[in-house]
Amino acid sequence: MLVVRKGDDRGAADFGWLRSRHSFSFGSYYDPQHMGVSTLRVINDDWVAPSGGFDTHGHRDMEIISVVLAGVIEHQDTMGHQHRLQPGDVQVMSAGTGVQHSEYNASAQEPLQFLQIWIEPDTHGLKPSYAQQHFGEAKGQTLLASRDARDGSLPIHQDADIYQLVLDAGEHSIPLSEGRTCYLHLYQGELSITGPSNNAETLTGGDAVTITNEGHLDLQIKQPGVKALLFDLP
């Protein structure tokens, strides 16, 4: 079964220094029909103005993943990490028993865009941890994060896999794990997805689809440069 969520239907926030679209209920946006999918709790598409950013704030018992799309993040936390993240970088912060951090746009001229993702951990009260890695934009399917950190991916404390898809024009059939819930978030380009009744649905940047009880995902792409995240969830 495929359930499409159009990007324009997401929650929205605009604070001047920050514009954000919320795929699931977050902050002042509340929709009981969109509280998350499986253990995936947050996908925020954030645009941060030059020199703007999130002052020091706290998290606990959450796996927080940041995927930089454009610009540079300046990150600092109470674990002693101070890093810059470029486009193609992915950061995982396991908040565990509690961590405080800040995130700023490192540029005074250029905007910053990144995806902020929260996944509920399978264990609470863990020691906080941090990791980041540059993945770039390799064509095909790249594993960004997983519980066992396989294939060079970053570790998260949940039975979940996060893949980056960078796809050229043509037809693509992506195998899906049996008995799992999958969520595809398209952040660039346009594609058509074929459902179980052979009906095609067109997705554009910001659109998403929840996939259950499907053995594979059939995508048709007319123009190259399609980029998406695919979540394989319990």
Question: Strands 140-146, 154-155: parallel, antiparallel or unpaired by DSSP?
Answer: parallel
Band (65; pLDDT cuts 50, 70, 90)? very high
Give the pLDDT score at 196.
62
In angstroms, the Cα distances linking 218 to 9, 174, 186 are: 24, 7, 14
Question: Strands 161-167, 140-146: parallel, antiparallel or unpaired by DSSP?
Answer: antiparallel
pLDDT for 4-20, tens place per residue? 999 999 999 999 999 99
Q: Can you give the pTM of this predicted structure?
A: 0.96
Q: What is the rounded distance in angstroms from the CA atom of residue 94 to the CA atom of residue 69?
A: 21
Give the chain's domains with CATH numbers: 2-233 (2.60.120.10)
**CA angle at residue 97 from 95 to 100, to 5 degrees?**
50
Band (1; pLDDT cuts 50, 70, 90)? confident
The maximal CA–CA distance of the chain, rounded, in angstroms, is 52
